[in-house]
Structure 1
Amino acid sequence: MADLTLSSTTFSAAHAAADQPNAAISAFAAVCASRFGLKLLTVFAWDAGDDLCTRIWSNQPEKYPVPATKRMGPTQWGDTVLRERRSWCGPTRQEIRAAFFDHALIESLGCGACLSAPVVWQDRVIGAVSVLDAEGSYRQADADDLGHMTWALVPALLAHRLEPAGHPLPDRKDTR
C-alpha cells in the first residue's frame, strides 16, 4: 500500500485558515496531485435522496465553476460512490462516458481516467471527491487509497452544510 500519511501539520494549518473550504481542500488537492497525479479535482456535497450533487471546489474553476449543481445518476458511478459508499475507478474514456454526462468537457481537458471516493460522516455520504487524469493513469488500488484519505474533507463538507442551512459558523473573536 502506498504511503497515505497526511501531515497533521499541513492539515492543522489548512483547517485553521480563514479561507474555507478553499484552504483545506487545496491542501487535500496537493496531496492528491503528489500521490496520484491529476489534471482535474472536484469536490461535491451531497444530500442523500436524489442524484443532485453540488460542486463546492474545483482546481479548474474556469471550466468547472463553483458552486454548481450536477446530476450524478443514475449511473454505476452514483450507485457505487453515493449509495454503496465505495471508491470507484474509471481507468478509460469508456467508463468516463458511462459515468458522466459532461464527458466531452472532461475529455477536452485531457482526462480519460477517474478516481472517485465518498466522504462519509456519521454513517452517511455527505459528499464525494473525483480526481481525473489521462486515460490509463489509475487502477482500483488508487481509488481505494483515495477512499482512505477522504476524512480530511469532512470539515469542509460539514461547514458547507451549515452555511446554506442558515447556520453560519460563529464569527472569529480576537483572542490576543
Structure 2
Amino acid sequence: MSDQLHVVEDHAALALPPGAGAELARIAGAAAGELGARLVTVSLWRGGSRDLVRVHSSLPEVYAVGGISRVLGAEWLRRCVDNHESYLAEDESAVNSDSFEHHGVLAALELTAALNAVVVHRGRFLGCLNLLDAAGRYSAASVARAEAHAGALAAVLRRIPEPRDVRPRGPLTI
C-alpha cells in the first residue's frame, strides 16, 4: 500500500489463556471463509469502562491486538450491548457513522461494509465478531450466519481475563 495509515488508540495488555489465540483465529477464519471479509476482528467488552478491547485481528499491523475502541456510538451501544442485537452497516455511509472509529483507515482499506455479530452468554454481552469488506458484501441474511460463529466465541471470551493495564499507543505507520 503506497499511502501510510495511522491508527492511534490506547492499548491494553492482554493475557490470553493457552490456546485462546488459536481458537479465536480458527473461529474468525471460519466466519471469514463463509461470509467473506478483508478484515476480521474479535472484541472483548469491558463493562466498567464501556469499551472494547481487540483480542484477535486478521490485520494486526493495522488493527493491533490489544487496541481499545472507546468511541462507540449511542445507537451501536443500545443495539449491541443493551439489546444484544448484531449491527449491520451495509454501505459506506453506515460505516462512516459514529458507530465506527478510524474512518480514514477504513476508507483507505476500502472497507465500506461491516457486520458486528454480538457474543452473549447467559444474558450478558461479552463482545463481538467484526467482519469488514466492501459495500454489498453483507445483508440481513448474513447476520444469522455470523451470529452462529459469534456464538462459538463465548467460551473463549469468557476465559480471557479482563485487560486492565492501559498504555497510550502512538501512530502505527503502515
Question: If the length of structure 1 is used for normalisation, what is the TM-score?
Answer: 0.76
Instruction: Give, in whole Å, the separation in 2 of the partners of 1:101 and 1:75.
Output: 13
Q: Which has the higher helix share?
A: 1
Instruction: Give, in whole Å, the separation in 2 of the partners of 1:78 and 1:108.
Output: 26
SS at match of 1:161: coil
Instruction: Give, in whole Å, the separation in 2 of the partners of 1:141 and 1:161.
Output: 33
Query: How much does 1:80 deviate?
Result: 1.4
Contact 2:115 / 2:138 at 8 angstroms: preserved in 1? yes
% identical equivalent positions: 26
Query: How much does 1:148 deviate?
Result: 2.5
1:159-170 matched pairs, under 5 angstroms: 159-161=159-161, 164=163
1:1-176 matched pairs, under 5 angstroms: 20-48=19-47, 50-98=49-97, 99-161=99-161, 164=163
30 and 101 in structure 1: CA distance in 2 versus 1, 3 angstrom threshold? closer
72 and 84 in structure 1: CA distance in 2 versus 1, 3 angstrom threshold? farther
Contact 1:112 / 1:134 at 8 angstroms: preserved in 2? yes
Unpaired runs of 5+ in structure 2?
1-16, 165-174
Question: If the length of structure 2 is used for normalisation, what is the TM-score?
Answer: 0.77
Instruction: Give, in whole Å, the separation in 1 of the partners of 2:149 and 2:84.
Output: 14
Q: How many residues align structurally? A: 147
Instruction: Give, in whole Å, the separation in 2 of the partners of 1:19 and 1:107.
Output: 35
SS at match of 2:117: strand
Query: How much does 1:75 deviate?
Result: 3.2
Match of 1:170 in 2: none
Contact 1:53 / 1:72 at 8 angstroms: preserved in 2? no
Q: Which has the higher strand share?
A: 2
What is the letter of the counterpart of residue 137 of structure 1? R
Instruction: Give, in whole Å, the separation in 2 of the partners of 1:76 and 1:49.
Output: 19
Contact 2:28 / 2:129 at 8 angstroms: preserved in 1? no
What is the letter of the counterpart of residue 136 of structure 1? G
More relative contact order in 1 or in 2 (CA 8 Å, sep 6+)? Answer: 2
Contact 1:39 / 1:110 at 8 angstroms: preserved in 2? no
SS at match of 1:135: coil
Q: Extract structure 1 runs of 4+ deviating beyond 4 A.
A: none
Tell which deviates more after alignment, 43-52 or 138-147: 43-52
SS at match of 1:148: helix
Query: How much does 1:46 deviate?
Result: 0.6
Instruction: Give, in whole Å, the separation in 2 of the partners of 1:71 and 1:143.
Output: 24
CA RMSD of aligned residues (A): 1.9
Contact 2:51 / 2:70 at 8 angstroms: preserved in 1? yes
Query: How much does 1:51 deviate?
Result: 3.2
Contact 2:46 / 2:53 at 8 angstroms: preserved in 1? no
